[in-house]
Amino acid sequence: MDYTDARRRMVDGQLRPNRVTDPRLLDAMRTLPREEFLPPALRSRAYADEDVPLPGGRSLMEPMVIARLLQLAEPRPGDRGLVVCAGTGYGAAVLGHIGVRVIALEADPALARLAKAALAATLPAGRVRLEQTDPTGGHPAGAPYDVILIEGEVPEIPAAIIDQLAEGGRLVAVQDAGGRQGRAVLGRRLGGVVTLTPAFDCATAALPAFAPAPSFVF
């Protein structure tokens, strides 16, 4: 498979027609070898316009959805970034390629190993720092962050993560829309207050780490 041609087709056929226009983002996704962020048996699916299932109920997010989420976050070189549930590291790598200084959180050991190898193969050392830890509380030690990406669908965004957003910072995630297709949201902190705004409908896999605890119903 010609992966270079597949990246070009992904950008021209999936991203540009879906209003992804940020030239830095397009360059990052045209340059980064997305196949490196998948196990060898799944690399042929790297540029399909769909989520690619990963072990542990996770997935590599569809190119168009991750691109639109990141464009919504308006990443800038020099920003401090946090990626929650980074999976195999692709979203973190795109931010790192743009020039964001990224801390990426991933609890699953197998996915973290894939991410570590892929990041080492595709970015300069130190551009993304991978932390193998519970992602649900964010990473207070590195806060505040200019950009926070939650890489998957969540029922709600924990206050502990919202609290780590810098003044003027942007948080992007996909929220469960109550049985309907998920919805991308943008959170901004202005004047100390974070406001969440719906942005676009989309579908992606739910993050098991954020699933509500089971409860008895009487």
What 8-state DSSP symbol labels residue 201?
Answer: E
Question: Is residue 99 assigned to a domain?
Answer: yes
| CATH code for position 108 | 3.40.50.150
Q: What is the pLDDT of residue 177?
A: 76
DSSP label at 206?
Answer: B
Q: What is the pLDDT of residue 212?
A: 80
Whether 197 maps to a domain, the answer reads yes
Residue 32, domain member (yes or no): yes
Question: Rounded distance, CA 116 to CA 112, Å?
Answer: 6
pLDDT band at 197 (very low <50, low <70, confident <90, very high): very high
Answer yes or no: is pLDDT of 16 > 60: yes
Q: What would the mean pLDDT of 143-159 be, rounded to a whole number?
A: 97
3-state SS, the chain, equals CCHHHHHHHHHHHHHHHHCCCCHHHHHHHHHCCHHHHCCHHHHHHCCCCCCEEEHHHEEECCHHHHHHHHHHHCCCCCCEEEEECCCCCHHHHHHHHHCCEEEEECCCHHHHHHHHHHHHHHCCCCCEEEECCCCCCCCHHHCCEEEEEEEEEECCCCHHHHCCEEEEEEEEEEECCCCCCCEEEEEEEECCEEEEEEEEECCCCECHHHCCCCCCCC
Examine residue 218 and state whether it is found in any structural domain, yes or no: no
Question: Average pLDDT for residues 32-51, to the nearest whole number?
Answer: 97
Report yes or no on 109 lying in a domain.
Answer: yes
Question: Distance (Å, rounded) from C-alpha 154 to C-alpha 206?
Answer: 6
* Average pLDDT of the segment spanning 43-51: 97
The pair phi, psi for residue 138, each rounded to 5°, is 70, -150
Which of 14-18, 68-72, 176-180, 206-210 comes out lowest in average pLDDT?
A: 176-180
Mean pLDDT confidence for 30-48: 97
Q: List the beta strands (DSSP E) in 7-60.
A: 52-54, 58-60
In a domain, 129, yes or no: yes
Whether the predicted pLDDT of 29 surpasses 80: yes
- CB-based contact 97:123 (threshold 8 Å): yes
> Does residue 217 register a pLDDT over 80?
no
Q: What is the pTM of this model?
A: 0.95
Relative to beta strand 101-105, strand 80-84 is parallel
Output the CA torsion 199→201→207→212 (10° steps): 90
Rounded Cα distance, 171 and 166, in Å: 10
Q: What is the pLDDT of residue 138?
A: 98
Given pLDDT bands bounded at 50, 70 and 90, which one contains residue 205?
A: very high
- The mean predicted confidence, pLDDT, of the chain is 95
Q: Is residue 46 situated within a structural domain?
A: yes
What range does the domain containing 107 cover?
3-209
Section 29-56 average pLDDT: 96
Our count of domains for the chain comes to 1
178 part of a folded domain: yes
**Per-residue pLDDT for 120 more than 60?**
yes
Q: Is a pLDDT exceeding 80 seen at residue 216?
A: no
Quote the distance between the C-alpha of residue 58 and its chain's center. 12
- Which of the 8 DSSP states describes residue 59? E
| Model confidence band, residue 178 (pLDDT cutoffs 50, 70, 90) | confident
For residue 214, what pLDDT band results from cuts at 50, 70 and 90?
low
Query: Could you tell me which residue, 179 or 102, shows the higher pLDDT?
Result: 102
Residue 33's pLDDT is 98
